């Protein structure tokens, strides 16, 4: 009996279910396919990260003595899609059994159902899609906070018996500090490309030069060993201050105290369990404060698991909704970064250079603008899916569709995350070097986020006014006189039409 064991590009984990019990005579199948590289025009660094990490992972399995059938991009016989490559591999190996681990994306699951494979659970997550569905069953609202508390109880992370450590589930109110000018973030660990990575970089440059983003400098870890070093650097040098400045933004300093390990988690070089355990241990040993460890663990044990659960619960219909009827095309500056709005120019510039931006940059700058401007969810979602090294649809779609754009009408978020320039001014130093002024509401100097914010509320009044969490801004809007409202709308329209 020989088994064909399939490993996809975001399944690079030795303990993966499809690799369990691998025996002599079995073959591990890994495939570089054009279809995956091209379903969106991924950032060049994301392509290099995934393909180089795949090649390194295959080498590690071979060093262990496993037989790996690795189909390279440049193999002339490569047919370019998962399904046809699995078919070719079956012809080569005549396996008696095929096993695969459930994929991250709905799109790939539809393909996988046709491979004749036993599809195993992806045990790398704390919650399976089935356990999330059981949690969601019968609930009217699927709030992350309630899910997170259950996950804390089930995992035992940051628990003191039945009670949350420190007597509180959530320390978010400690995690919104603005960054003082004299507090300097630590330098980040980068990993110089080795020969395998350089070969992939040359291929990406040759075949995908029209894709978004800068290829160089490439500093991502592409092996588990280096990803563990990046994790270690985060825990020792960054975690202690991660909580305090989690929501802060600083020009020229995109990483701040963030972990920047999401790409490694999402392709499998690190596991969610080990990174949470490290953060908890840092708190228990007195190295990091509880608000930092809790804030980090909530992202991984709470948010990350919650968005995956929601994705599998709601797909494929989830992607189809457009609750606010947003139809505007994505402006060109999302690709070039060329805009006079400094916050957007900075965040998009960093995204081009690093294939990374942190959660508040994504939610409150690019996401907030897309929400206020009424950009088409499909175009915005494609952008988020391709520009970030950590973006796979299961995590990108709920975060963009539900959280940033409110396109699901409130399945995920209890209100739209709409904010005016004052929020960006409070949490960043971007406004100081912007041609607009965050404290000016109308006119040529006014920050566009200001009139776009009120215009968003006016445009969506019938849809949002009844939401209790929107009561305050709508009370303020009621007090605004008609002439001022008309001027807000006029300026917002003129601005949007000129995009």
Interface with ligand SF4 (CB under 6 A): 341-343, 421, 424-425, 430-431, 434, 436-438, 447-449
Contact status, residue 155 vs residue 126, Cβ threshold 8 Å: yes
Give whichever of 296 and 449 is closer to ligand SF4, judged by the CB atom: 449
The number of C-alpha atoms within 13 Å of 493 and in the hemisphere containing its C-beta is 8
Candidates 106, 10, 101; CA nearest to 312 is: 106
Q: Which does 244 bind (CB under 5 to 8 A by kind): ligand DLZ, ligand SF4, none?
A: none
To ligand SF4, the closest distance from the beta carbon of 9 in angstroms equals 36
Is residue 33 close enough to count as binding ligand DLZ by CB under 6 A? Answer: yes
Region label for 42, one of left (φ > 0), alpha (ψ between -120 and 50) or beta (otherwise): beta
Q: Which residues of 199-220 are buried (b: 16+ CB within 10 A; e: fewer)?
A: ebbebbeeebeebbbebeebeb
Is residue 42 close enough to count as binding ligand DLZ by CB under 6 A? Answer: yes
Judged by CB under 6 A, which stretch of 7-15, 156-164, 313-321, 484-492 contacts ligand DLZ? 7-15
To ligand SF4, the closest distance from the beta carbon of 400 in angstroms equals 20
Give whichever of 103 and 331 is closer to ligand DLZ, judged by the CB atom: 103
Q: What phi and psi, each to the nearest 5 degrees, are found at residue 146?
A: -70, -40
Give whichever of 129 and 331 is closer to ligand SF4, judged by the CB atom: 331
* Distance between CA atoms of residues 53 and 222, nearest Å: 4
Is residue 40 close enough to count as binding ligand DLZ by CB under 6 A? Answer: no
Give whichever of 152 and 401 is closer to ligand DLZ, judged by the CB atom: 401
Candidates 411, 469, 403; CA nearest to 142 is: 411
To ligand DLZ, the closest distance from the beta carbon of 392 in angstroms equals 5
* Distance between CA atoms of residues 204 and 220, nearest Å: 15
Q: Which does 280 bind (CB under 5 to 8 A by kind): ligand SF4, ligand DLZ, none?
A: none
Judged by CB under 6 A, which stretch of 36-44, 202-210, 228-236, 425-433 contacts ligand DLZ? 36-44
Give whichever of 313 and 447 is closer to ligand DLZ, judged by the CB atom: 313
Is residue 392 close enough to count as binding ligand DLZ by CB under 6 A? Answer: yes
Q: Which does 341 bind (CB under 5 to 8 A by kind): ligand DLZ, ligand SF4, none?
A: ligand SF4
Q: Which ranges constitute the DSSP H helices of 238-367? A: 239-242, 262-267, 272-284, 290-297, 305-314, 333-336, 342-354, 359-360
To ligand DLZ, the closest distance from the beta carbon of 65 in angstroms equals 22
Q: Which does 447 bind (CB under 5 to 8 A by kind): ligand SF4, ligand DLZ, none?
A: ligand SF4
To ligand DLZ, the closest distance from the beta carbon of 175 in angstroms equals 31
Instruction: Indicate if the alpha-carbon torsion angle 138, 142, 148, 151 is positive or negative.
Output: positive
Residues facing 3 on adjacent strands: 97
Give whichever of 102 and 429 is closer to ligand SF4, judged by the CB atom: 429
**Measured torsion, CA atoms of residues 434, 440, 441, 446, in degrees rounded to the nearest 10:** -40
Q: Which does 429 bind (CB under 5 to 8 A by kind): ligand DLZ, ligand SF4, none?
A: none
* Distance between CA atoms of residues 293 and 275, nearest Å: 11
Contact status, residue 330 vs residue 405, Cβ threshold 8 Å: no
Q: Please give the residues from 62 up to 121 whose contact with ligand DLZ meets the rule CB under 6 A.
A: 103-105, 108
> Would strands 97-101 and 3-6 be described as parallel, antiparallel, or unpaired?
parallel
Give whichever of 308 and 459 is closer to ligand DLZ, judged by the CB atom: 308
Q: Please give the residues from 454 up to 493 whose contact with ligand DLZ meets the rule CB under 6 A.
A: none
To ligand SF4, the closest distance from the beta carbon of 85 in angstroms equals 46
C-beta neighbour count of 130 within 10 angstroms? 12
**Residue 20: is the preceding peptide bond cis (ω within 30°)?**
no
Region label for 456, one of left (φ > 0), alpha (ψ between -120 and 50) or beta (otherwise): alpha
Q: Which residues contact 43 (CB under 8 A, 6 or more apart)?
A: 211, 212, 213, 355, 386, 387, 388, 389
Is residue 376 close enough to count as binding ligand DLZ by CB under 6 A? Answer: no
Tell me the Cα Rg of the chain.
23
Give whichever of 6 and 347 is closer to ligand DLZ, judged by the CB atom: 6
Judged by CB under 6 A, which stretch of 32-40, 238-246, 434-442, 460-468 contacts ligand DLZ? 32-40
Question: Contact with ligand DLZ (CB under 6 A): which of 4, 12, 28, 37?
Answer: 37
Judged by CB under 6 A, which stretch of 34-42, 89-97, 190-198, 477-485 contacts ligand DLZ? 34-42
Q: Which residues contact 331 (CB under 8 A, 6 or more apart)?
A: 339, 373, 375, 499
To ligand SF4, the closest distance from the beta carbon of 342 in angstroms equals 4
Q: Would you give the DSSP letter of residue 288?
A: S
| Residue nearest ligand DLZ, Cβ-based | 9
Q: Which does 10 bind (CB under 5 to 8 A by kind): ligand DLZ, ligand SF4, none?
A: ligand DLZ
Contact status, residue 381 vs residue 401, Cβ threshold 8 Å: yes
As given in the structure block, the two tokens for residue 432 are 């100081």
To ligand SF4, the closest distance from the beta carbon of 449 in angstroms equals 5
Q: Please give the residues from 194 up to 253 whose contact with ligand DLZ meets the rule CB under 6 A.
A: none
To ligand DLZ, the closest distance from the beta carbon of 197 in angstroms equals 15
Q: Would you give the DSSP letter of residue 142?
A: -
Contact positions vs ligand DLZ (CB under 6 A): 8-10, 31-33, 36-37, 42, 47, 50, 103-105, 108, 392
């Amino acid at each position: 009996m020989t088994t064909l064991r399939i490993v996809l590009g975001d399944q690079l984990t030795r303990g993966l279910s499809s690799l369990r019990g691998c025996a002599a005579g079995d073959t591990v199948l890994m495939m570089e396919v054009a279809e995956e590289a091209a379903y969106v025009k991924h950032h060049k660094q994301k392509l290099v990260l995934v393909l180089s990490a795949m090649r390194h992972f295959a080498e590690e399995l071979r060093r262990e003595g496993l037989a790996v059938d690795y189909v390279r991009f440049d193999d002339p016989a490569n047919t370019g899609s998962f399904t046809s490559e699995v078919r070719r591999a079956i012809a080569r190996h005549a396996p008696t059994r095929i096993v695969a681990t459930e994929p991250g994306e709905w799109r790939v699951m539809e393909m996988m159902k046709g491979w004749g494979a036993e599809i195993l659970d992806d045990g790398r997550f704390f919650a399976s899609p089935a356990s999330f569905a059981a949690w969601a069953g019968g609930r009217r609202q699927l709030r992350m906070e309630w899910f997170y508390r259950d996950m804390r109880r089930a995992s035992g992370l940051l628990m003191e018996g039945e009670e949350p450590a420190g007597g509180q589930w959530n320390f978010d109110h400690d995690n919104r500090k603005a960054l003082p000018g004299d507090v300097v973030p630590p330098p980040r660990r980068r990993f110089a490309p080795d020969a395998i990575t350089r070969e992939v970089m040359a291929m990406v440059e040759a075949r995908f030069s029209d894709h978004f983003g800068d290829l160089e400098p490439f500093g991502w870890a592409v092996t588990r060993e280096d990803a563990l070093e990046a994790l270690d650097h985060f825990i020792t040098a960054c975690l202690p201050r991660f909580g305090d400045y989690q929501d802060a933004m600083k020009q020229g300093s995109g990483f701040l105290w963030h972990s920047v390990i999401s790409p490694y988690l999402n392709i499998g070089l690190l596991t969610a369990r080990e990174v949470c355990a490290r953060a908890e241990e840092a708190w228990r040993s007195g190295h990091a404060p509880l608000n930092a460890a809790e804030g980090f663990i909530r992202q991984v044990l709470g948010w990350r698991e919650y968005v995956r659960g929601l994705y599998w619960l709601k797909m494929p219909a989830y992607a189809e909704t457009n609750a606010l009827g947003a139809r505007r095309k994505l402006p060109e500056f999302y690709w070039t970064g060329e805009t006079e709005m400094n916050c957007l120019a900075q965040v998009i510039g960093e995204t081009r250079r690093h294939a990374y931006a942190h959660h508040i940059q994504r939610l409150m700058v690019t996401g907030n603008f897309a929400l206020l401007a009424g950009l088409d969810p499909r175009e915005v979602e494609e952008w988020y899916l391709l520009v970030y090294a950590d973006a796979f649809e299961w995590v990108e779609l709920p975060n963009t569709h539900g959280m940033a754009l409110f396109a699901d009408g409130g399945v995920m978020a209890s209100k739209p995350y709409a904010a005016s320039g004052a929020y960006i001014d409070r949490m960043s130093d971007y406004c100081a070097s912007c041609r607009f002024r965050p404290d000016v509401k109308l006119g040529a100097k006014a920050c566009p986020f200001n009139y776009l914010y009120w215009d968003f509320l006016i445009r969506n009044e019938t849809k949002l006014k009844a939401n209790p969490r929107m009561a305050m801004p709508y009370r303020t809007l009621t007090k605004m006189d008609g002439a001022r409202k008309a001027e807000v709308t006029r300026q917002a329209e003129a601005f949007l039409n000129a995009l």
